[in-house]
Structures are given as C-alpha cells and as structure tokens.
Amino acid sequence: MPSFRQIDEHNISEVTARLIELILQIPPEERLTILKEIEKKYKKGKRGTSREAYFMDVVFATNDRAFKGFIQNISNEGVLIESKGTFHVGQKLTMNFALFNKKGPVKITGEIVRISSEGLGVKFTHPIQDLLSDKKSPFKLTKIQTS
C-alpha cells in the first residue's frame, strides 16, 4: 500500500483503503471520538441539530382539541412526543412544557413532520437554541446516538 502522500487524489479506492488501514491502527476509544467528530462535520440526516434525551410531560393543542403527552427527546429544532390520539403530518400544535430552569412552562408552536411508532416528530416554528443552551439548567441532557 502506498504512503498517504503517494496516493493519487483521483483514485478513491486507494484513499478509502488507506483510511481503513489507518483506522484499524487507532485504539477503539479514539475511533469513537473520531467517528463522532466526522458525523458532526458531515451530518447528512434530516435534522439540522442533534437530539438529546429529555423526558418531560407536555400539554399540547391542535385547532380543535387538547392532548397530554410525554416528550422523549428534544433538539433546537424540534421534539419527539409520545401521545395517544389521531394526528396527521402538517398539523400545527401549540405546546406547553417545562424547559430547564425557566420559571413556569414555555409555550412553543410547531408542526408535525413525522408520525411513527415512537411518537410525533414535531418541528418548532422557531428554533429554541437560546433556551437549550441555558448553562444554568438543573437538567442534564444526554445525547442520543443517531444512525
């Protein structure tokens, strides 16, 4: 196998083979760190931000009805809600739930963008980065591995 400097930049197979060779020489703990950095840099998922586990009761309303649910995870751009009821993609919601050390519940609007067995994927009308980045939060969020 040629050295890194000798690889023809147009021969992707050789580049890929060399990357794999180098990766196999890296200790497993470092591989995980490098993988996370690469995934962060070249994220191709539908979400623009990573999800974080966040378990909280939520009350939300559509145009015609109020519901109770349970937040499973949250990001700057949306939330996954477990709830019973009949919903459809495109449905607008107004949600009320406790968020970090904010006094009282926050009121956030969003739209259902996905429905699965896990729950309702809701995209916030406006990202809530300022609320999630609150350093005084008494809640510890745990990042979720995404595939």
Which pLDDT score is estimated for 144?
44
Domain ranges of the chain: 4-41, 52-143
Q: What is the pLDDT along the chain (147 residues), one digit of tens a residue?
A: 455 555 555 577 788 888 889 989 999 888 888 887 877 766 655 555 677 888 899 999 998 899 999 999 988 889 999 999 899 999 999 999 988 666 778 899 999 999 998 899 999 998 887 665 554 444 444 444 444
Count Cβ neighbours within 10 Å for each residue of 77-105 and write b for 16 or more, e otherwise: bbbbbeeeeebeeebebebbbebbeeeee
Which pLDDT score is estimated for 48?
58
Q: How far apart are CA 132 and CA 99, in angstroms?
A: 8
Indicate the CATH number for domain 52-143: 2.40.10.220
Q: How far apart are CA 78 and CA 27, in angstroms?
A: 35
* Stated pTM of the model: 0.58
Q: How far apart are CA 2 and CA 25, in angstroms?
A: 16
Instruction: Name the phi and psi angles at 45, rounded to 5.
Output: -70, 175
